[in-house]
Amino acid sequence: MPIKVPTGLPALQAVKNEGVPVEEFNSSTGNTLHIALLNLMPMKETTEADFIRILSYSSEEIELTLMKLDTHTPKHASPQHMQQYYKGFGELRDKHFDGLIITGAPIEKIEFEEVTYWPELCEIFEWTKSNVTSTLFVCWAAQAGLYYKFGIQKYLLPKKMFGVFPHTLLRNNVPLFEGFGSTHYVPHSRHTDIHREAVIAEERLELLSESTESGVYVMQEYGTRNFFITGHSEYALKTLDAEYKRDLSKGLPIEAPKNYYPDDDHTQQPQALWQGDARKLFGNWLKYYVK
């Protein structure tokens, strides 16, 4: 995929070093899709690489803008990195984007209104109605969007939802899932969930994909091109492995991610059960909803 990112972005080179076929371009054409990534994850460069990697398998020409909040200073990213490669919401307020991806954030146990940047995030949610063609709300952002738009509450799980789980489609003719088989796998890594009953009861939402183990996965807001995605289809192969080893090193109560290592043996290399369908998911999003 031809892609334009901020000049010198380290994540682009990291993806290239993996052997991913990313082609850079300098000047946009009339066919360029303008995509913004509101990156709320603490490890900025890892998340940048995740989305550059997954978007790179599309044939669409993309210009990727990295967006940051004006009311929040990340603790785990250097000020130089944020200043050099990111643009604040205030700077982008008057622009229109074909697509926006809002990432998750590791603040699930905090009530939404207690999140320091909640007012600005709500302002961005409103801004998308007039300035973005299609928005993907991912993981915590999905829960935040569902709460803001529909009042759907999240609840704390007894233990972390952690692993790669099989999912099924509730409707087969949705362009977002073109090319999918009867079962698709998705990584999940979260401490909270939302009730399926609350989603089904909301007339403005359609549940498109779910799992008997990890719950609802993809929901679409009727009359819009907005999707709420509770899992992490964008994850690289070793991301869950790194999270597992990190929590173990901290002495946290964590079980090995399910359906991830062959025979659930964490000494073996993880299985890439989800990556083929993940590429289709994002490719279909760009092809059918962003253009």
Contact 66, 86 (CB under 8 A): yes
| Distance in angstroms (rounded) separating the CA atoms of residues 186 and 215 | 11
β 62-68/2-4 pair status? parallel
How is 169-194 classified by DSSP, letter by letter? Answer: ES-S--GGGTT--S-EEEEEEEEEEE
3-state helix, strand, coil split of the chain in percent (to 5) is 35, 25, 40
Tell me if residue 234 is catalytic. Answer: yes
Distance of alpha carbon 180 from the chain centroid: 19
Catalytic residue among 60, 139, 184, 188: 139
- On whether the CB atoms of residues 101 and 51 are closer than 8 A, the answer is yes
Pick the catalytic residue from 34, 167, 188, 232: 232
Q: In Å, how far are 72, 92, 253 from 124, measured between CA atoms?
A: 14, 11, 35
Residue 122 is a catalytic residue:
no
Smallest CA-to-CA distance from 155 within 217, 98, 111, 123 is with 111
Nearest to 21 by CA among 43, 48, 33, 3: 3
Q: Collect all residues with Cβ–Cβ distance below 8 Å to 167 and sequence separation of at least 6.
A: 183, 184, 185, 186, 209, 210, 211, 214, 217
What is the C-alpha to C-alpha distance for residues 261 and 269, in angstroms, rounded to an integer? Answer: 6
Catalytic annotation, pick one of 45, 48, 210, 234: 234
CA dihedral 81, 82, 85, 90 (to 10 degrees): -170
**Which residues are tagged catalytic?**
139, 232, 234
